[in-house]
Amino acid sequence: MVDLDYIEKEARRIRRAANRIINELEDEPVDPPEWPPPKTDMLVGLHSTRIPYTEQIGRQWDIVRLFNRGTFGESISGRTQNYLSRGTVVHESFKTTDVPMKSQELSRFRRFLDTVPTTSEYWLTLWHEPDQDRRVAPDRWAQLQEQLVVETRPSPSVTPVGVLTGWGLHQEQANGKNMDYLQAVQHLNSGGYLMGIDCYNWPEDGRMKNLWENYTAQTVNTLQTFNWPWLLAETATYTNDPRWYSRNIQWADDNGALAFEAFDEDKPQENVNRTWEQSDEQLRDMASV
């Protein structure tokens, strides 16, 4: 029996390696020689307002997570182009004016996609975490995801990615109330559409609950039941454990994750007296994998 998941994962690995070679031939090398090679085929990276600093600590990240409050423009941004040009995979999120997109926005979306370099690898999310505030109903969100899949299909460098909250998929925490979003897009999981989950290690009742033991493992099990190719689209810890990242990156890799995208942010979180900013020791630990 042909293992399609394994073939797809190997194809992505080969394409990433080819893209890096192409970029090295076209431009001056950007990777300092002291950066060690990755130890896993899974993409490891983060969202951060201080990426140049985090890379000085460890190595160039395999993937960078970018967020936008609004919709896309006529072309990809200079920031996005900069990451793509050096061989970094970019996973970028946008909202849309309408859900699903209407004709004018859809036309602009096609022009936007035309500006993504064909030699790059660009992961694209439209309206991440709809289950968090439920402003967008599952059926409307599914229509938007269908547009994302259909419009990116002619672009070999663009991968469509849906993103839902981990707690929403974990039935013990949310009583399954957000399973309707996953079920609404179930028909897309064989068309190159990936599913990302956002799972954070929050403090609870004065204790640090373990991200993996409490709900990430159960959430991943749900995705695997639906045969979804999956990734961690956002994750971070409030613990000071210096080996938290390397340990859980290895867990994610062992369980078939395509990417592990950490969240490093110095903005204070609502109702919590600290930020998601990670320590230098934790960043070095993340970069060591």
Give the C-alpha separation, 112 to 123, whole Å. 14
| Per-residue pLDDT of the chain in tens (289 residues, 90 and over written 9) | 656 666 666 666 676 666 555 554 444 444 443 545 556 689 999 999 899 999 988 889 999 999 999 999 999 999 999 999 999 999 999 999 999 999 999 999 999 999 999 999 999 999 999 988 789 999 999 999 999 999 999 999 999 999 998 877 775 455 555 688 998 999 998 879 999 999 887 765 444 455 556 678 888 888 888 889 999 999 988 778 899 899 889 999 999 999 999 999 877 666 566 678 889 999 999 999 8
Tokens encoding 73: 């423009």
Q: Under DSSP, is residue 97 helix (H, G, I), strand (E, B) or coil?
A: coil
Q: Model's pTM, two decimal places?
A: 0.85
What is the CATH class of 4-287?
A: alpha beta
Contact 84, 120 (CB under 8 A): yes
Tokens describing residue 234: 């956002």
Residue 31 has φ and ψ, to the nearest 5°, of -85, 115
